[in-house]
Structure 1
Amino acid sequence: MLRINPKMLSRLEELEADLLARLRRAQEENWLGEAEGINLTLTFLRAKREETQRRARRPAVDLGIPRARSAKDHSRKDYP
């Protein structure tokens, strides 16, 4: 479960360009196993990039700071 920092999206673009160059070479040399592995890596890289872009568009949610319950909180009738 690797989460990419949105600031690193440009690095994913560089990695994709490198993989595409390696894929062309593998296809030219008829290295079928290598080409298959690169295609699989490209699929994962693109999915990770899309997930990172989606997360970057969502606003952050402030959950606040938790606080310890007091004895008074435990004595309330609506407390489970």
Structure 2
Amino acid sequence: MLSVNPKMLPRLDEIEEDLRARRKRAIAETWQGEIEGIDLSLIFLRSKREQTRRFQGSGPVDLGFPHPRHPSQPISR
């Protein structure tokens, strides 16, 4: 899975703006296939931006320290 560096979020905004301008032109020229492709690109771009924003706030996960097993405890598998 491709991950986007949070520093690139402004670039995603620029790409979306460009796609919307291309979509307007495609509508004006009645390029149906192009409109559908741009719509898919916009869906994926927005999804990736939201995913990046969700992961942006999360930092490392603290798993804690392992605790030694008492010799009388069976090993769980």
Which TM class, normalised by the smaller chain length?
Answer: 0.7 to 0.9
| Count of residues in Structure 1 that have an aligned counterpart in Structure 2 | 74
**Could you say which structure has the higher helix fraction?**
1
Q: Which structure 2 segments of 5+ residues have no match?
A: none
RMSD across aligned C-alpha pairs, in angstroms?
A: 2.3
1:68 aligned partner: none
Match runs of 1:12-51 below 5 Å: 12-51=12-51
Identity %: 54
TM-score normalized with structure 1 length:
0.77
Aligned partners of 1:79, 1:3: CA distance in 2, in Å? 41
The one-letter code sitting in structure 1 at the alignment partner of 2:54 is R
* Paired residue type of 1:56: Q
**How far 1:59 moved relative to its partner?**
2.9
Structure 1 residue runs of 4 or more that deviate by more than 6 Å after TM superposition: none
TM-score (ref. length: structure 2) = 0.80
Deviation of 1:57 (Å): 1.7
